[in-house]
Amino acid sequence: MLDMASPRSIALSLCFASLFAPSAFAYKPLSDNFLRQVPAASDAELDPTTGDLLGPFLQPRAPDSEGHADVQDHLVQWFASNLPDWTVEWQNSTTYTSGKSQKGGKFVAHHRSNLVFRREPPWTRPGQANLLTLAAHYATPTDAPAGAVGATDAAVSCALLLHTARSLDRYAAQMYKEMQELGEGGTVPMDMGLQVVFLDGGGLQDKDNTGAESLAAAWEKATNPALPASLYGYPNRLNQVSLLLLLDLLGGAEPRVPSRYQTTHWAYQAMARVETRLRGLKLMGTTPSAGAGAGTGGAFLPDSATPVHQQLGMASGWATDGDDHLPFMRRGVNVLPVVPDARPEHAGTAKDDGANVDRKTVQDWSRVLVGFALEWLDMMEVEPAASARRRRNHVRGRP
């Protein structure tokens, strides 16, 4: 059972943390030219059987099962093959519960393994980079129906994490190379990296889900080494998270994701603007009905025009009562849950499989997420066909 903090203490922690959200002061929208080049996950990559993004997750993968171990191995091998410059970290934990219904009242062990993949600027020292952190849980709930593969809960979210990481990597490599050539770096807005987290446990529906709590507690205790006075540094691993973007229950048609927290409403609005601009450029494959997001033409992110002071109490509460972001939020991390306000039709059932995934919706989410992450990481500096001009302007002293 997780310790519950009071709503007031959570709000105070988040307000304090939001004062130091580094990317809030350096956010630059992508140009139309760049948005047109934002890649979407392909049909082949999302094929339920042969696709390297979605297919490997579509199997029963409850903790400690064969499928669970298979997915772990796939993740490690996938990053090693596709993104060799990323570091991999295993964060393991074991907790125990007891009860009359469990093996005659004996203690039962729950083993969890969170996988963390990270791409930091090569010039930074431990504790120096701030990290946009994307997360999803990769296991199916322990009480899922026999044979359930959890496509929307949360195989699709995991596939989107892989696509986002692969899409961003080449831009990150180019940006870091050019910054080193120009002698840049060493400030909060410049030392930005990316972290992709696969959380163990089954999210909302798993009463034994301890993966997120274990990782948040471990990062809070993982103090970073002191840096020279000429550099800044974050006290612990948790402080390095500039934003936690949690994905869950994605893959159903016509999703509606509300803005849930005032402290990250500006980030929600930024993501919503990416969606709006992609639709305006005719780059989205879906045309949702207006009923999916009243007043916004069925947008995935319909609360973009809502003033921040009206956000409190607007969203339905079920998706925030027990999801994986809460252990981080209680510790002061800025969180943006990308979780629909209604479960996909087959979520939590044996029918939640690849055949019932709305592939066009997933492809549109892949564009929105990559576009948002590119903007957060200030990737306009490496807009395709613009890097040479940037180097010339730097030499001439112009921005």
Contact in structure between 23 and 110 (CB atoms under 8 Å): no
CA atoms of 109 and 94, how far apart (whole Å): 6
With 0-12 / 13-18 / 19 or more C-beta atoms within 10 angstroms meaning exposed / middle / buried, residue 348 is: buried
Contact in structure between 62 and 144 (CB atoms under 8 Å): yes
- What pLDDT, on the 0 to 100 scale, is given for residue 239? 96
Contact in structure between 56 and 79 (CB atoms under 8 Å): no
Contact in structure between 191 and 130 (CB atoms under 8 Å): yes
> Which residues is 112 bridged to in the sheet?
93
CATH class of segment(s) 7-26+41-253+323-363: alpha beta
CA atoms of 33 and 25, how far apart (whole Å): 23
What's the whole-number mean pLDDT along residues 265-275? 96
Q: How do 87-97 and 108-119 pair as beta strands?
A: antiparallel
Which two tokens mark 80? 């090693």
Share of the chain above pLDDT 90, in %: 64
Residue 103: Cβ within 10 Å count: 10
SS3 for 21?
Answer: coil
- What pLDDT, on the 0 to 100 scale, is given for residue 6? 40
**Phi, psi dihedrals of residue 333, rounded to the nearest 5°:** -80, 140
Range in 13-22, 101-110, 305-314 the model is least confident about: 13-22
pLDDT tens for residues 49-77?
999 999 999 999 998 899 999 999 999 99
Beta-sheet strand order (sheet of 87-97): 87-97, 108-119, 192-199, 130-137, 241-247, 335-338
Q: Sorting pLDDT into bands at 50, 70 and 90, what band is 228?
A: confident
Does residue 305 carry a pLDDT above 60?
Answer: yes
SS3 for 286?
Answer: coil
| Residues contacting residue 307 through CB under 8 Å, at least 6 positions apart | none
pLDDT tens for residues 101-112?
555 667 777 788
What's the whole-number mean pLDDT along residues 152-169? 97
pLDDT tens for residues 75-130?
999 999 999 999 999 999 887 776 555 556 677 777 889 999 999 999 999 999 99
Q: Sorting pLDDT into bands at 50, 70 and 90, what band is 306?
A: confident
Q: Please state the domain extents for the chain.
A: 7-26+41-253+323-363
Q: Sorting pLDDT into bands at 50, 70 and 90, what band is 17?
A: very low
What number of residues does the chain have?
399
Q: Does an H or E element contain 116, and which?
A: strand 108-119
Q: Which of 191, 175, 194, 190 is nearest to 379 (CA)?
A: 175
Give residue 398's Cα distance to chain centre. Answer: 35
More confident residue, 3 or 178: 178
Which two tokens mark 140? 């199916």
Which two tokens mark 241? 């998270």
Contact in structure between 319 and 201 (CB atoms under 8 Å): no
pLDDT tens for residues 310-352?
544 444 444 455 678 889 999 999 999 999 999 999 998 999 9
| Residues contacting residue 239 through CB under 8 Å, at least 6 positions apart | none
CA atoms of 93 and 60, how far apart (whole Å): 21
Does residue 10 carry a pLDDT above 70?
Answer: no
